[in-house]
Chain A
C-alpha cells in the first residue's frame, strides 16, 4: 500500500450524481451517493434493479455508457481526485489501480481470443514484459484462480468453458496488475449456487491475500451478508442505510431496508412473512380439502422417462414421480441437472425417448409434443416461463396475451364473455385493468410476470408447470409474485410443478421436493425435512451453498 496509511480511505465518493441522457430527456440514475472504502475492506452495495448500484460502480471506474455522465460530486482515489480523469490517466488507473469483474462472465470475455492471450493482454497493458513472459505470468494467474488443467486452458476459448470457469478467468484478468480496488458487479448472478459459493470464496480469499479492497455489488442480501463486513443499501439512486450486515438484517432502520429484508427468503421464512403488510393481497385461509375419494387416479404419474438427445447425450435418465391434485412439487438441481428438460417433457413441449406420462389416468407421453396443442388436456397443463420478457409476444397487448389461450384452447370468440374472462384473470393476478391495453415493453418486470401467470391460469388448468418463474425478478417483486402464486394455488386447488435453483423459494412453495443431478433423482421427500436434514452429500452441498443471513443469535453474540 504505497502512500496510504490505514486511517486514510482508499476510495472516497462524495455526493456522486450520475445522469443519463435518454430520448425522454435527462434521467438521474444516481442522486448524491457518498461512501468511503478502507484499503482491504469488502463493502457490499445492495439494491434492486434500478437502484443505481451498478451505475455507481461504473461511475467509479469510469466505464459508464456514452449516454451516462457524472453530473456532480467527487471521486477520490488515494486522496487524488479522479472525477474528471481522462485519456492517459484513466489508462493507468484501469487495471493497475482499480479493475472490475462483471455479471455474465462469458460475454465479458472476447469470444475469438484464447484465455491465455486475454490474460496476457491485460498483463501487457501495464507491464513491460515479452510476450513469453506475459504468457508464463498468465499461466500463474490461472493457477491462482484455481483453474483445473491450466496449461491446456491457456489455449481454450471462452465458449469452451463453463460460466464459473469464465468468471475465474475474469478474476485472473482483473487481478493481473494487482489493483488495490476491485469492483465486482453481480459476479455470480446466473451461476449455480454451488458455483457461486466456490467463486465467491475464491474472490474473498484472493482479496484478503492481496489486501485488495472490494466493492461487491449485488441484489442478494444473503450473499452480501456472508462476505462483506459492511453493507450499504441503495434505493432509487440514493443510499438509504449503511451498517454491519447482521445489524442491517435483523434491525433494519429504513422502511425500504425493512421491506427488502423481509422479502428475502431465508432458511426459515414463510410465504406470509415475505410481504409484511400484505401488499393488498389478502391471504385467505383455506380449510384443508378432504382427501379425494378412493380410486381417484393420480393427477400426474410419470414412469421411468428417459431423454436422449440427438448427439447421444442423456439429458434425463429414468425419472419417475407422482403428483396428486393440488399438490406442489419442487424440482431442484444445478444447471445441466436435467430439471428443465424433465419439466418440458411433463408439460409436453419435448418428447421423452422412453417411459410413460399419465395425466389423470390418461397416457399423454405418446402424443408428439408438436401435436399436443390439439389435445383436450393442453388446457389442463399450462406453463409459466422463466423470462417474463421473452415469453410474451411483443406485438400482443397484455389483453391479447391472456386472451390467446382462451381463443385457441377454449374456442372462445372475442366478445363480452372473452373480455369478462380476461379481466377476471387480470384481477386475480392483481393486474390493474387499465394496463391490459399495454404492450409488454410498456410494463414492468413484475407486471409482465403477472401477465404470464394470468395467461397460464386463463384456461383454469389443473397442473401448472413453473420454470424458474421468479428468477428474473427483484426480491421484493418475487415476494409478491410468490404470494400471488400461493394464493391462486389454494383457491383453485392447482397442482404446481415448481422448477427452481433457489432452494429457499422451493422450500416455501412446495410440499415435496425432488433433487436432480445429471438427469437422475438424488433425493426426494417432504421439503422442510429434506432441507433441514439432507440425506445425501449432494443435497447437503446445495443447501450449504445458499448464502443465508445468520439468525439473530449471532447478532447477540457479536454485539456482546
Chain B
C-alpha cells in the first residue's frame, strides 16, 4: 500500500512541476499565432471586396486593435476562467467544439494504440526469441513497411482493398452512418455508448466504422513499439536473472513471460505513452482521409483560415493531454517496477 501512496505522491509532484511548462505552451502558441502571416479580420470580412472600414470594425470586435500584451492578458484571464474563445469558423465556443470532437479522436487513437500494442508486443517477443531467424526478418520487414508507408497512403490502400474491392468495410466517412440513430451520449465514445444503451447492431456499425482508420494508425506505430519490445526483450533474455530462472528449471512460459517480458515491458510503457501523445496530435491525416470528426482536423481547418482561438485551444488541449499521459505512464511505471518508487 505504501508503494501506491508513494507513486501517487510522486505523480502529484510531477503534475505540479509541469504547470509552468503548460503556461509556457500557452504563451508560446499565443505569440506564434500572432507572428504567423494572415489576418483573421480579412478572412472573416463579408467578402473579398469588403471595405477597409468593415475590416477595421471586425478587427475592433475581435480585439485585435489592442496592443499585444493587452491581448495576452485578456487571453490568459479568459483561459483561467475556462473560456477558450469562440471559433470564427463554426461560430461556437472553442471549448464546446473541442469537447464534442475530443471523444472521437480519443476513441480512434486509443483503439489504434490497443491494436498496435496487441500486435507489436507479441511480434517483438517472437523476434527476440529467435534473433536473426526468418521470423525476426519478417517482423523487421513488416515494421519497416509500416513506418515508410505514409498513413494517408496506407489508409487509401486499406479503403481500396476492404471497401472498394471486397466491400467488407463500410463507407469510410465519419464515425457512423449519418442516418443511424445515435445512442444517448454518456462517455462520447460511440462503441461504449452503444454498449451502455444495449444496442448491439449500432455497436457493430460503429466498430466497423472505426476499424479501418484505427488499423491505419496502428500500422504506423507498430514499428517503434515492436522494435523497442524486441530490443528490451533481448536484454532481458540475456540477463542474469533469466539465467537464474533457467538454472532452476522454470517452465518456458514462466521464463519468457513472468521473468523476461515483465521486465522488458517497462521501456515499452514509456514509448507507448510518447506514441499515444504523438498519435493524438498527428492523426490529422487519418482524420482527413476517413472524414473523422476529430480535434486534429478541426485545428487544421482553423489554422488554414487564421482562426486563432481553436488552434490555441487545440495546442493547450494537446499539452494538457501530454502531461496527463506522462503522469499515467509514471503511475504505471511505479506499479510495474518496485524500484521506481525508491528513486
Binding site for B on A (CB under 8 A): 61, 63, 90-96, 99-100, 102, 104, 107-113, 121-122, 125-126, 157, 159, 170, 173-174, 176-177
Contact = CB atoms under 8 A, between A and B. Distances in A.
Interface in B248-265: 248-251, 254, 258-259, 262-263
B244 A170 contact: yes
A110 B243 CA distance: 10
A94 B241 contact: no
B263 A110 contact: yes
A173 B248 contact: yes
Given A110-B259, A110-B263, A112-B338, A125 B248 contact: yes
Interface string B328-343: 0000000011110010
20 contacts: A61-B247, A63-B247, A91-B249, A92-B249, A95-B250, A99-B248, A100-B244, A102-B243, A107-B239, A107-B240, A108-B241, A110-B245, A111-B263, A111-B337, A112-B336, A113-B259, A121-B250, A121-B258, A125-B249, A159-B338
B246 interface: yes
Given A110-B263, A111-B241, A176-B248, 16 more contacts: A63-B246, A92-B249, A94-B246, A95-B247, A102-B240, A109-B244, A110-B241, A110-B244, A111-B337, A112-B336, A121-B245, A121-B248, A121-B250, A125-B254, A157-B339, A159-B338
Given A107-B239, A108-B241, A159-B342, A94 B247 contact: yes
Given A111-B241, A170-B244, A157 B249 contact: no
Interface string B302-343: 000000000000000000000000000000000011110010
A406 to B, nearest CB: 40
Contact of A93 (B245, B249, B342): B249
B248 A174 contact: yes
A111 B339 contact: yes
Nearest to A170: B244
Contacts of A63: 243, 246-247
B243 to A, nearest CB: 6
Contacts of A157: 338-339
B263 A112 contact: yes
A47 B238 CA distance: 25
Contacts, number: 80
Contacts of A108: 240-241, 243-244
Interface SS of B by simple majority = helix
Contacts of B337: 111-112
A21 to B, nearest CB: 12
Interface centre among A93, A104, A107 (most CB of B within 10 A): A107
Interface string B153-181: 00000000000000000000000000000
Contacts of A126: 249
A102 B244 CA distance: 8
B265 to A, nearest CB: 10
A157 B340 CA distance: 12
B250 A122 contact: yes
Given A93-B249, A122-B250, A157-B338, A104 B244 contact: no
B177 to A, nearest CB: 47
Contacts of B243: 63, 102, 108
Given A159-B339, A159-B342, A109 B241 contact: yes
B38 to A, nearest CB: 49
Contacts of B246: 63, 94
Contacts of A95: 247-250
A90 B240 contact: no
A71 B251 CA distance: 27
A121 B241 contact: no
A52 to B, nearest CB: 18
Nearest to A92: B249
A31 to B, nearest CB: 24
A100 B244 CA distance: 8
B251 A100 contact: no
Nearest to A102: B240
Contacts of B240: 102, 104, 107-108
A102 B240 CA distance: 8
Contacts of B241: 107-111
Contacts of A170: 244
Nearest to A104: B240
A126 B258 CA distance: 17
Nearest to B266: A112
Contacts of B254: 121, 125
Contacts of A174: 247-248
Contacts of B239: 107
B98 to A, nearest CB: 39
A216 B255 CA distance: 26
B232 to A, nearest CB: 13
Nearest to B336: A112
B253 to A, nearest CB: 12
A152 to B, nearest CB: 13
A93 to B, nearest CB: 7
A126 B250 CA distance: 8
Contacts of A109: 241, 244
Nearest to B237: A66
B187 to A, nearest CB: 33
A177 B249 CA distance: 10
Given A108-B240, A111-B339, A159-B342, A177 B248 contact: yes
A121 B246 CA distance: 11
A110 B262 CA distance: 10
Interface centre among B244, B248, B259 (most CB of A within 10 A): B248
Nearest to A110: B241
Interface string B218-250: 000000000000000000000111011111111
B203 to A, nearest CB: 38
A102 B242 CA distance: 12
Contacts of A176: 248
B157 to A, nearest CB: 39
Nearest to B259: A110
A174 B249 CA distance: 10
Nearest to A158: B241
B44 to A, nearest CB: 57
Nearest to A121: B250
Contacts of A125: 248-251, 254
B99 to A, nearest CB: 39
B1 to A, nearest CB: 12
Contacts of B258: 113, 121
List the 6 closest A-B pairs by CB distance, nearest first: A94-B249, A95-B248, A95-B249, A107-B240, A122-B248, A110-B241
Contacts of A112: 262-263, 336-339
Given A109-B241, A110-B263, A100 B247 contact: yes
Interface centre among B246, B247, B263, B339 (most CB of A within 10 A): B247
A96 B250 CA distance: 11
B7 to A, nearest CB: 14
Contact of B249 (A90, A111, A159): A90
A170 B251 CA distance: 18
Contacts of B259: 110, 113
Nearest to A96: B249
Nearest to A58: B243
B28 to A, nearest CB: 34
A177 B337 CA distance: 29
Contacts of A111: 241, 263, 337-339
B135 to A, nearest CB: 16
B245 to A, nearest CB: 7
